[in-house]
């Protein structure tokens, strides 16, 4: 009698085979940009239903994992503070991956090194992207792609990703996507036609917790609501155009419409005094629409190229210097020129080369 496929989706040749990898694995964890973010309502499970067009950026953290010297997973973070190591999503992702694969692979302890470039608690989902990268890197290091059939491994990744956070599943898509539900429904979108737009990111030296922004949306900030129907219509229209073959130049033309299509903007303004004034100052200085990514406080501006975004970054720095632009927070804001990532491509540049602060 010949053996059929394992009932849990493992490959028929046997999951207990020796691990073929156990070599260092490197992944780039891109930031994401919410071009639109409609909040459709609060769910019975306390989450909110969303409708958001999201795109990954060339700006990325760099994660590497290798077999650990000791009996436990370890993490070293360089180029930035992310809070207590024990609470970091990288270690949580590795632990969740190990729990999911059980004894099906040789899930040895891993030593992770995370080089941070994406601002923390900024509406760019840096932590969620790190988690997705750690999940992918761990499964690759353990040879899960050999031990599992492709479909079963994909389902496994998605299930683990959602358990780690609502933004994590998006990063499994590998490109722009329409994200609905609380984040678990990810509908990939085709690549933009033409050269991907450059993006200027301005992140005040203030950390904003996403749960606090949603709580403000449901509470005090509800006194100044956004037009939810208009935001949803803008988001749906952008998704339809993108799916039909949107060009990068057309995206730039429409920036004035969807830069205001974020239902969390008023809540972020409520929690971060001075954020609205900063947005207005950037509009005056740059003469372009300024949007908010996610729950903020990162503000974004689109350009035809990264070079143009870098020129705009210099203008913002000049404005901060002469006092015509004032940013909330005790320190200088992060000012980064990057670009929307090309479809199916990993960030093309060194993740740190466009950081201008």
Question: What are the tokens at 170?
Answer: 């998006």
C-alpha to C-alpha distance for 179 and 176, rounded to whole angstroms: 9
Residues 207, 296, 130: CA angle, nearest 5 degrees: 70
How far from each other are the two terminal CA atoms of the chain, in whole angstroms?
66
3-state secondary structure at position 158: helix
Query: Which among 61, 106, 136, 167 is annotated as catalytic?
Result: 167
Q: DSSP letter string over 45-65?
A: TS-EEEEEEEEEEEEEEEEEE
Are 91 and 85 in contact by the 8 Å Cβ rule? The answer is yes
C-alpha to C-alpha distance for 241 and 194, rounded to whole angstroms: 15
Q: How many CB atoms lie within 10 A of CB 3?
A: 8
Half-sphere exposure of 335 (CA within 13 A, CB side): 20
Q: Verify whether residue 32 is a known catalytic residue.
A: yes
Are 153 and 146 in contact by the 8 Å Cβ rule? The answer is no
Query: Which among 32, 58, 61, 269 is annotated as catalytic?
Result: 32
Q: Verify whether residue 116 is a known catalytic residue.
A: no
Q: Which of 297, 295, 291, 293 is nearest to 272 (CA)?
A: 297
Catalytic residues: 32, 167
């Amino acid at each position: 009698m010949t053996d059929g496929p394992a009932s849990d989706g493992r490959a028929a040749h046997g999951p207990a085979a020796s691990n073929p990898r156990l070599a260092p694995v490197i992944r780039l964890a891109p930031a994401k940009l919410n071009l639109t973010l409609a909040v459709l309502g609060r769910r019975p499970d306390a989450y909110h239903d969303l409708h958001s067009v999201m795109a990954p950026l060339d700006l990325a953290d760099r994660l590497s994992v290798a077999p650990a010297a000791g009996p436990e997973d370890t993490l070293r973070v360089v180029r930035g503070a992310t809070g207590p190591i024990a609470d970091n999503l990288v270690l949580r992702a590795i632990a969740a991956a190990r729990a999911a694969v059980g004894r099906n692979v040789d899930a040895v302890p891993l030593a992770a090194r995370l080089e941070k470039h994406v601002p923390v608690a900024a509406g760019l989902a840096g932590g969620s992207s790190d988690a997705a990268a750690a999940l992918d890197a761990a499964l690759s290091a353990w040879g899960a792609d050999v031990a599992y059939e492709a479909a079963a491994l994909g389902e496994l990744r998605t299930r683990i990703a959602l358990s780690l956070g609502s933004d994590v599943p998006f990063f499994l898509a590998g490109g722009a996507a329409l994200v609905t539900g609380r984040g678990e429904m990810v509908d990939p979108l085709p690549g933009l036609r033409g050269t991907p737009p450059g993006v200027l990111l301005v992140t005040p030296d203030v950390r904003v917790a996403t749960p606090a922004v949603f709580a403000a949306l449901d509470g005090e900030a509800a006194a100044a609501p956004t037009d939810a129907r208009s935001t949803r219509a803008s988001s749906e229209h952008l998704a339809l155009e993108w799916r039909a073959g949107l060009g990068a130049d057309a995206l730039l033309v429409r920036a004035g419409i969807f830069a205001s299509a974020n239902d969390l903007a008023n809540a972020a303004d409520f929690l971060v005094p001075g954020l609205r004034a900063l947005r207005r100052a950037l509009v005056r200085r740059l003469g372009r629409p300024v949007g908010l990514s996610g729950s903020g406080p990162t503000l974004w501006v689109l350009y035809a190229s990264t070079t143009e975004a870098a020129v705009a970054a210099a203008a913002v720095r000049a404005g901060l210097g002469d006092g015509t632009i004032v940013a909330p927070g005790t320190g200088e804001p992060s000012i980064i020129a990057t670009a929307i990532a090309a479809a199916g491509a990993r960030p093309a540049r060194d993740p740190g080369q466009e950081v201008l602060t």
